[in-house]
Amino acid sequence: MMIPTIPTPDELLDKGFRRGKKQADLMRTQKIPKHLKGKRIEERRVITSCQVIKDKLKSILDSVPDIEDLPPFYQDYIDITVGVDDMKQALGGLNWAYGILTQLEKEYGSKIRKNPSEKATTLQKQAYGRIASVVNKIKKDLDFLDFAKANLRNMPTIDFDATTIVIAGFPNVGKSTLLNQISGADPQIANYPFTTKGIQIGHVERHWKSIQIIDTPGLLDRPVLEMNDIELNAIVTLEHLADAILFIFDASETCGFGLESQYNLLKQIEKIFDNIPVIYLFNKMDLIEDTSYVEQYVDELDNSIFISAIEGEGIDKINKVLDSVKKIERNEEYLTYFSCKDRKGKYVSWSSSENNYTLLNFWASWDKASVSVRDSLAKMVKEFPEKKFRVLNISLDYEKKKWLEACKEDSKQWIEICDYKGWSNQVVKQNNIHKLPANILIDRNRKVLGKDLTEKDLYTTVEQLIKKEEKK
């Protein structure tokens, strides 16, 4: 994401006022009736200053794409890196400033034209004071966007049309070496918000087929129980991309991890990527003489390949397997990233690191059927663990007072939100909701698991999902 250079408030004001002065000086050279000249000079100074500052704000706003229009991978990437809600809030601040400056431009342009010439300078100074006040109020927004620019500078370039292979395994098992062998060139290195060493992406063309190989050091190389929320969210983002996983064992155990630990890591990754095929590679076979210890794990894993990445042994076999990997057609429906404010003004998003499953429940105080459904949900939600399930109640009310009167108390599992736009609510429009009651069940990755579920079906579905997780 290419965000332009973000100025400080002082830089914005300095640029605007300097350009305003230059235009005022040009106006002084023009032949204008004496009784109008002073007014024209100060009017031009104010209007030019506002326009210059507005143009810079607009260039920033125009440079940032709508998050909702980006592929799910990038939506999650931005959220993990800088926070989508914080980004929206900062852009909203700039948009607010743009609107106020437009008003000031019109207001003081009119005042200067209508008042006597001797008041023009006073009005200009008054306008400058208000312009400065507006720009200084968005300092925190400009600071955030400068932070976002720095952190999104190295956002990886993903080829969504290519077949994508994700490499997994403990540190020092030979992942980078293998990546270099397969891609035949130095891989692209980019910082990644959830890794310590940066993501590595290798590209190879085989038989008119583009293959993209991703290694994420520091991510898929430690037990899931040891991962923080950011790492867990990162794994979810990779789920958008992976068509196959290359899991690498260090058969020699010289990496510092025994085969048993490596095998346990594999099983955890298979649980996470349960719908993605895994290719098993036993590396550093050149370092061991007795393979009997390795064979017990090979017997558990079909189609294992013995290799020596550093010697290039077994690479041909890997390439043949990669040739057979088919791109996964991800026909699953995902909700577009969106968020809005709760009653306390805090942003609430669909995705959450705390709740595995979220029900978006659509209702309105003026619709008795949806109110009845909502009341039933309020009783049901307490039957599930707090970190497993929650309900986001999206009201289609137009009046704040009526909505608040009908709301229930918020909790970690029960959240009430409303933007007072009724049927014009963005989520309602995006999901083609035309009647109440309505609901959408999603997982933490915003994958749609069900729509318009009855209370009984919802309970059964969530219960089964939680049980399935516990069995993994």
Query: What CATH number should be reported for the domain holding residue 285?
Result: 3.40.50.300
Mean pLDDT of 280-299: 89
- What does the pLDDT read at residue 198? 60
Cα maximum dimension of the chain: 102
Confirm if 443 and 419 have CB atoms less than 8 A apart.
Answer: no
Is 158 inside a domain boundary?
no
Query: Quick one: 29 and 103 in the same domain?
Result: yes
Query: Quick one: 185 and 318 in the same domain?
Result: yes
Is 334 inside a domain boundary?
no
For the chain, the residue count is 472
Of 27-31, 217-221, 464-468, the least confident: 217-221
**128 pLDDT tier (thresholds 50, 70, 90):** very high
In the predicted structure, residue 161 carries a pLDDT above the cut 80: yes
- What does the pLDDT read at residue 188? 52
Is 349 inside a domain boundary?
yes
Query: Quick one: 97 and 173 in the same domain?
Result: no
Query: Quick one: 345 and 264 in the same domain?
Result: no
Last residue of a domain, one of 152, 185, 218: 152
Among all chains, which residue has been given the structure tokens 């990546």?
179
Is 219 inside a domain boundary?
yes
- What does the pLDDT read at residue 192? 56
- What does the pLDDT read at residue 191? 54
Last residue of a domain, one of 296, 324, 352: 324
Q: What is the pTM of this model?
A: 0.67
Query: Quick one: 174 and 304 in the same domain?
Result: yes
Is 331 inside a domain boundary?
no
Q: Give the whole-number percent of the chain exceeding pLDDT 70.
A: 89
Among all chains, which residue has been given the structure tokens 């260090």?
250
Query: Quick one: 319 and 175 in the same domain?
Result: yes
Confirm if 247 and 271 have CB atoms less than 8 A apart.
Answer: no
Last residue of a domain, one of 279, 300, 324: 324
Quote the DSSP letter at residue 343: T
- What does the pLDDT read at residue 371? 93
User: Which CATH number goes with the domain that contains 89?
Assistant: 1.20.120.1190
Exposure string of 185-218, with b = 16+ CB inside 10 Å and e = fewer, is eebbeebbbbbeebbbbbbbeeeeeebbbbbbbb
Is 4 inside a domain boundary?
no
Is 260 inside a domain boundary?
yes
Query: Quick one: 286 and 370 in the same domain?
Result: no
Per the structure, the complete domain to which residue 288 belongs is given by 163-324
Query: Quick one: 66 and 188 in the same domain?
Result: no
- What does the pLDDT read at residue 234? 63
Of 218-232, 301-315, 317-331, the least confident: 218-232
Query: Quick one: 386 and 311 in the same domain?
Result: no
β pairing state of 209-215 and 163-168:
parallel
Mean pLDDT of 412-428: 87
Query: Quick one: 265 and 395 in the same domain?
Result: no
- pLDDT tens figures, 183-208: 765 555 455 555 545 667 778 887 77
Task: Considering only residues 237 and 284, tell me which one the structure prediction assigns the higher pLDDT.
Answer: 284
**395 pLDDT tier (thresholds 50, 70, 90):** very high
Query: Quick one: 56 and 93 in the same domain?
Result: yes
Q: Cα–Cα distance between 213 and 177 in angstroms, integer?
A: 12
Query: Quick one: 238 and 312 in the same domain?
Result: yes
Among all chains, which residue has been given the structure tokens 């006022």?
17
Mean pLDDT of 48-70: 91
In the predicted structure, residue 44 carries a pLDDT above the cut 90: yes
For 143, other C-beta atoms within 10 Å of its C-beta total: 14
User: Which CATH number goes with the domain that contains 430?
Assistant: 3.40.30.10
Please tell me the total count of domains within the chain: 3
Mean pLDDT of 153-161: 81
Q: What is the residue-averaged pLDDT of the chain?
A: 85
